[in-house]
Amino acid sequence: MNLLERELHYPLGDTLPAPGEALEVAPGVRWIRMRLPFALDHINLWLLRDSLDGVEGWTVVDCCIAHDEARAQWEQVFETQLQGLPILRVIVTHMHPDHIGLAEWLCTRWNAPLWISSTDYHVARVLSTAGDTLAGGDAAARFFASHGLVDPEAVAKIRARTNYYANMVPSVPDRFTRMMDGDTVAINGHAWRCISGYGHAPEHIALYCDELKLLLGGDMMLPRISTNVSVHAGEPEANSLRLFLDSIDKFKALPADTLGLPSHGKPFTGIHRRVDQLQEHHRDRLAELLEACTARPLTAAEGLPILFKRELDLHQMTFAMGETVAHLHLLWFAGQVRRELGEDGIYRFGPRSTAAKAP
């Protein structure tokens, strides 16, 4: 446990659900943990006891990526954890593959509706059918190159990675029920309020139940790691980090004893302190980048080692590049640095001249 984690509390200690099993964390709320083939090696999924249109069953929150191991784990859950009841509804917090990958499979198998924000639904539909334009393909390669990632081997690998998303999200349901900020979703007689979040995904939806004092925080409120916040080729001028920091402030309005149920990590209390930690983390990283940019103009590729000290593979590199651009963009939009496009087609962020105007 690192120093920041010691400021939080983990009511279940080191207890984890066994593979293919569901661990009850609150009345009618069960925790499933599935493996992922990445450095971030797991995702938490949730089973909520429910009743829809007079039929007893379960609501699922998030799905895992579409791969055989996850399907096999779900089959074990169906056989041993549902008490003979059906899946009635599939809620997806956002469109990232580990959350929506098996949504179509689950919805089809159980004839269950998909609930998701409209923005994330349509982004997922595009990426699963038209090819990945965020993490791979020509557009992504050009975007990363414009921010200084010009290594020919890396650029070639990014350009060739056109089916990255579709490999994990081969399809999504052809219809959905929209969730929006402030909406209330009735689950098993309890009211769960939708809380929108931005910067990590286009329109992430967390769910909070005041009666149970539970927050299904998705990826917006993680106890151990800081959520990836990126600028990508699909929205190259975004101020994603500003959106994320403003979004997590909403969780300060929740009761201090709220139990956070995150998508990665363990259930925890101390959400208010966690918001402060994340704000402090990004403030420190911004200060480091600002100091470096004041010394000399930097590309995002040159700024990346300031934020990420460890060695990164290509998969991690693309996320790290997007996050570095997000930090530089916040400084740029705030008028703290100047952005210039060089004759080589690469953006550099440098000291702000007194004559320059804020963007």
Q: Is the pLDDT of residue 359 over 50?
A: no
CA distance 265 to 249: 20
- What percent of the chain lies above the pLDDT cut of 70? 97
CA distance 88 to 299: 49
As a whole number, mean pLDDT of residues 206-222 equals 98
Position 314 confidence tier, pLDDT thresholds 50, 70, 90: confident
Within-domain flag for 295: no
Alpha-carbon 41 to chain mean position = 14
Q: Any idea what the CATH number is for the domain that residue 77 is in?
A: 3.60.15.10
Alpha-carbon 153 to chain mean position = 28
Position 310 confidence tier, pLDDT thresholds 50, 70, 90: confident
Position 4 confidence tier, pLDDT thresholds 50, 70, 90: confident
Within-domain flag for 225: yes
As a whole number, mean pLDDT of residues 220-236 equals 95
Indicate the average pLDDT of the chain: 95
Q: Determine the pLDDT at residue 163.
A: 87
E-assigned strands of the chain?
Answer: 23-26, 29-35, 42-52, 55-61, 87-91, 114-116, 177-178, 184-187, 190-197, 204-209, 214-218, 259-262, 337-341, 347-351
Q: What is the pLDDT of residues 137-146, one digit of tens each?
A: 899 999 999 9
For CA atoms 90, 93, 94, 97, give the dihedral sign.
negative
Q: Is the pLDDT of residue 346 over 50?
A: yes
Within-domain flag for 259: yes
The total of other beta-carbon atoms located within 10 Å of residue 138's CB is 13
Q: Determine the pLDDT at residue 313.
A: 86
Within-domain flag for 306: no
Burial of 150 (0-12, 13-18, 19+ CB in 10 A): middle
CA distance 142 to 345: 10
Task: State how many domains the chain has.
Answer: 1
Position 353 confidence tier, pLDDT thresholds 50, 70, 90: confident
Measured at the CA of 128, the angle between CA 208 and CA 225, to 5 degrees, comes to 45
Within-domain flag for 36: yes
Position 1 confidence tier, pLDDT thresholds 50, 70, 90: low
As a whole number, mean pLDDT of residues 211-233 equals 97
Q: Determine the pLDDT at residue 118.
A: 98
Task: Please check whether residue 297 is in contact with residue 281, taking contact to mean a CB–CB distance below 8 angstroms.
Answer: no
Task: Please check whether residue 347 is in contact with residue 146, taking contact to mean a CB–CB distance below 8 angstroms.
Answer: yes
Q: Is the pLDDT of residue 281 over 70?
A: yes
Q: Is the pLDDT of residue 132 over 80?
A: no
Q: Which residues, at least 6 apart from 278, have a Cβ–Cβ distance to it below 8 Å?
A: 226, 227, 245, 248
- What percent of the chain lies above the pLDDT cut of 90? 89
Within-domain flag for 356: no
Within-domain flag for 85: yes
DSSP string covering 100-137? HTTHHHHHHHHT--EEE-HHHHHHHHHHHHH--SSSSH
Position 85 confidence tier, pLDDT thresholds 50, 70, 90: very high
Q: Is the pLDDT of residue 133 over 80?
A: no
As a whole number, mean pLDDT of residues 159-188 equals 95
Q: Which domain holds residue 229?
A: 5-280
Q: Tell how strand 204-209 and strand 214-218 pair up.
A: antiparallel
Within-domain flag for 325: no
Position 355 confidence tier, pLDDT thresholds 50, 70, 90: very low
As a whole number, mean pLDDT of residues 255-266 equals 98
